[in-house]
């Protein structure tokens, strides 16, 4: 199983699937289809006859039940796209067997190292097999590790008919990284009673609550006047943008928050004296505090518009997803089952809130309760991303254990 999951993972990360938040198509980039089509073909080659992909890039497949009794239909979901933060093309993975517990040279020429000083958790992987980047791209473990684990579990089930299981649904989505992963996902067609996204981080992570999330786009219309004659006339859009950012609480930035603390995060800025634009994401686990944060941003913009003139700043804000906890807790057995499945695999469950979101958050509000389990990766979205093959193996075992538990085995 260890060799199988690694082989699949390396095959999947070789395909560039970066999504694009500025695209209006579904999926946002057609290159995601290259991996999604491959997955359909692999599923069919396993003998899963109904595997298909729709026009939006959603892959769905069914492994029929082999037990006589009625059991819940359980789904497993992962996303195919990688984050826009860093290139996902021409990934050159480094496989480090029997890791010695020391700093890892990712790129000697560029002097990029994966160091224990910066990432002390590396010490936990001494003796394990690590897959890292070469320091020029992300790795793609988010979430191709999850895909590899689901595909390895599916192959195991098909090849071992003696393993008793209920009906199993498999789903792969595009565009999760840009918040559009389930925009057109047909929950009814998928047909699961409950599901798990395999999109978490470190070994043992089990999550059933996440941020409430909103995005905010601000446009600033300045007034560019020759600086020699600008007194009382110029409005410098760059300075207005800086002033807006300074009005937001400094201690509520991502670099100063953890656990259940929310934040304002500026993700993009472009500007000249005449015009500027800014983008923020707003996050909080608590719904009331989430609404307060949105109102804080609105009030800051209203304040600046009173200072500089009506409509100098315009705001486009929309909610992206909500905390899945309220939708999962009425079906808490799905969390308890995952807990038991991890224990059976020799993995200590680590229950913590997601400081982000998954497709499962939105799916839970679409009628498919969907907690999140670990995929095994670390340092997602950047050049320091890595994954331990043993963690991917354990995630596969957890998937199989969940299936066994729901079949009463």
Mark residue 379 as left, alpha or beta (left: phi above 0; alpha: psi -120 to 50; beta: remaining): left
What is the three-class DSSP state of 185? coil
The active-site residue out of 143, 175, 176, 359 is: 176
Q: Exposed, middle or buried: residue 241 (CB in 10 Å: 0-12, 13-18, 19+)?
A: buried
Q: How far apart are CA 288 and CA 57, in angstroms?
A: 35
Q: How far apart are CA 315 and CA 301, in angstroms?
A: 8
Q: Which residues contact 351 (CB under 8 A, 6 or more apart)?
A: 206, 207, 208, 335, 339
The active-site residue out of 81, 175, 199, 205 is: 81
Q: Give the neighbor-by-neighbor strand order of the sheet with 377-378.
A: 94-96, 130-132, 386-388, 377-378
Torsion sign over Cα 146, 152, 158, 163: negative
Residue 401 is inside which H or E element, if any? helix 389-406
- Is 50 an active-site residue? no
* Best CA proximity match to 78, nearest among 138, 161, 5: 5
- Is 397 an active-site residue? no
Q: What is the number of helices (H) and of strands (E) in the chain?
A: 10, 18
Active site members? 81, 176
């Amino acid at each position: 199983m260890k060799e199988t999951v690694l082989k699949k993972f390396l095959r999947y990360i070789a395909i560039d699937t970066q999504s694009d938040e500025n695209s209006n198509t579904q999926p946002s980039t057609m290159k995601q289809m290259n991996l999604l089509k491959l997955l359909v073909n692999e599923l069919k080659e396993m003998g899963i006859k109904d595997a298909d992909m729709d026009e939006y890039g959603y892959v769905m497949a069914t492994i029929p039940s082999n037990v006589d009794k009625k059991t819940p239909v359980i789904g497993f979901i992962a996303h195919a796209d990688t984050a826009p933060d860093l290139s996902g093309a021409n990934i050159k993975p480094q496989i480090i067997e029997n890791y010695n517990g020391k700093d890892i040279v990712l790129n000697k020429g560029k002097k990029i190292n994966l160091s224990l000083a910066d990432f002390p958790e590396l010490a936990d992987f001494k003796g394990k097999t690590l897959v890292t980047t070469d320091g020029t791209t992300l790795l793609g473990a988010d979430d191709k590790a999850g895909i590899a684990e689901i595909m390895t579990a599916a192959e195991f089930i098909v090849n071992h008919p003696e393993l008793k299981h209920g009906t199993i649904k498999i789903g792969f989505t595009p565009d999760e990284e840009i918040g559009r992963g389930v925009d057109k996902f047909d929950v009814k067609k998928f047909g699961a009673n409950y599901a798990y996204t395999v999109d978490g981080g470190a070994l043992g992570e089990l999550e059933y609550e996440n941020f409430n999330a909103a995005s905010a786009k601000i446009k600033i219309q300045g007034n560019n006047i020759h600086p020699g004659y600008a007194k009382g006339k110029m409005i410098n859009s760059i300075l207005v943008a800086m002033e807006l950012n300074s009005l937001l609480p400094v201690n509520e930035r991502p670099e100063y928050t953890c656990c259940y603390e929310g934040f304002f995060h500026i993700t993009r800025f472009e500007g000249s004296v005449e015009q500027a634009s800014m983008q923020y994401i707003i996050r909080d686990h608590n719904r009331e505090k989430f609404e307060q944060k949105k109102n804080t941003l609105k009030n800051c913009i209203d304040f600046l518009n009173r200072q500089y003139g009506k409509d100098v700043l315009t705001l486009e804000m929309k909610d992206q997803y909500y905390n899945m906890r309220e939708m999962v807790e009425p079906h808490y057995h799905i969390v308890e089952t995952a807990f038991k499945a991890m224990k059976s695999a020799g993995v200590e469950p680590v229950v913590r809130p997601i400081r982000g979101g998954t497709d499962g958050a939105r799916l839970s509000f679409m009628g498919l309760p969907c907690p999140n389990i670990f995929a095994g990766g670390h340092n997602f979205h950047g050049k320091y991303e890595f994954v331990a093959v043993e963690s991917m193996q354990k995630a596969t075992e957890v998937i199989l254990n969940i299936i066994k538990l729901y079949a009463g085995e």
